[in-house]
């Protein structure tokens, strides 16, 4: 199903009040309110026990997931689908164009050593994919900033199945829901962030990025992104047609003046 529904009331924190008892529509509405919000800079510890701050990852897009390591169903599926989509995005955009962060929201259990074991168990070896731990205040603030909902229940947590995409300035750009989303749901926004923003003027880099943004398409037959030359064919045909029309207009103008 799309969401792991929350059954317990959550106290109001920063930003908009959290739903006290909600259905999917209410949860998604709360999550969507985070779009456009800049995530506060906070301190975390990665799986190798290095202290990092969210500001360390500014300058390029971030794919952010919040999971808990003892989850045996939804969280592993989210990580698996993120891994597949990230692999496709790397092929489409090239390596090193964005960061992936997975934060353990069960602060008591999701220690750096548990996050390291989780990284090994799920074969997370992509450079630029960091697994982070934090204390409860940092987790709660990050959850509030990104519109992520979670609450304890017997044997675990109820939580949103949510992947959040941040732009290079740390602003929430897109939410992807579910534990079995398709790769384009993640790859297409990443293309927009990496290739479609930040360019000013018709520089060669800007033009190249825009062409790549337009011409890299998802092929459902293969389940992969590929470069399409169809746009160039259309541009050539369009230019030729406009040229023919322009030539005809000029010839008519000259004939009338003769």
What's the pLDDT tens digit per position in 116-153? Answer: 999 999 999 999 999 999 999 999 999 999 999 998 88
| Residues 6 or more apart whose Cβ sits within 8 Å of residue 239 | none
The per-residue pLDDT for range 16-41, each reduced to its tens digit, is 455 544 567 788 889 999 999 999 99
Report residue 155's pLDDT band, with 50, 70 and 90 as the boundaries: confident
Question: Cα(242)–Cα(219) distance, rounded to whole angstroms?
Answer: 31
The per-residue pLDDT for range 47-84, each reduced to its tens digit, is 999 999 999 999 999 999 999 999 988 999 999 999 99
Q: What is the pTM of this model?
A: 0.72
């Amino acid at each position: 199903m799309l969401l792991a529904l929350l059954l317990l009331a959550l106290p109001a924190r920063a930003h908009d009040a959290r739903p006290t008892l909600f259905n999917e529509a209410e949860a998604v509405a709360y999550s969507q309110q985070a779009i456009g919000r800049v995530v506060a800079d906070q301190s975390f510890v990665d799986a190798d026990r290095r202290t990092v701050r969210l500001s360390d990852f500014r300058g390029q897009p971030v794919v952010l997931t919040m999971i808990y390591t003892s989850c045996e169903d939804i969280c592993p599926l989210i990580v698996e689908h993120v891994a597949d989509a990230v692999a496709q995005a790397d092929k489409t955009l090239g390596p090193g164009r964005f960061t992936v962060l997975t934060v353990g929201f069960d602060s008591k259990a999701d220690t750096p050593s548990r996050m390291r074991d989780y990284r090994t168990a799920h074969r997370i070896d992509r450079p630029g994919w960091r697994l982070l731990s934090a204390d409860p205040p940092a987790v709660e603030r990050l959850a509030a900033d990104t519109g992520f909902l979670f609450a304890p229940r017997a044997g675990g947590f109820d939580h949103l199945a949510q992947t959040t995409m941040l732009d290079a300035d740390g602003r929430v750009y897109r939410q992807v829901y579910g534990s079995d989303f398709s790769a384009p749901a993640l790859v297409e926004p990443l293309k927009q962030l990496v290739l479609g923003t930040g360019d000013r003027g018709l520089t060669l880099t800007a033009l190249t990025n825009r062409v790549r943004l337009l011409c890299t398409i998802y092929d459902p037959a293969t389940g992969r992104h590929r470069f399409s030359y169809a746009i160039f064919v259309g541009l050539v045909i369009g230019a030729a047609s406009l040229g023919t029309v322009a030539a005809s207009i000029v010839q008519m103008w000259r004939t009338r003046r003769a």
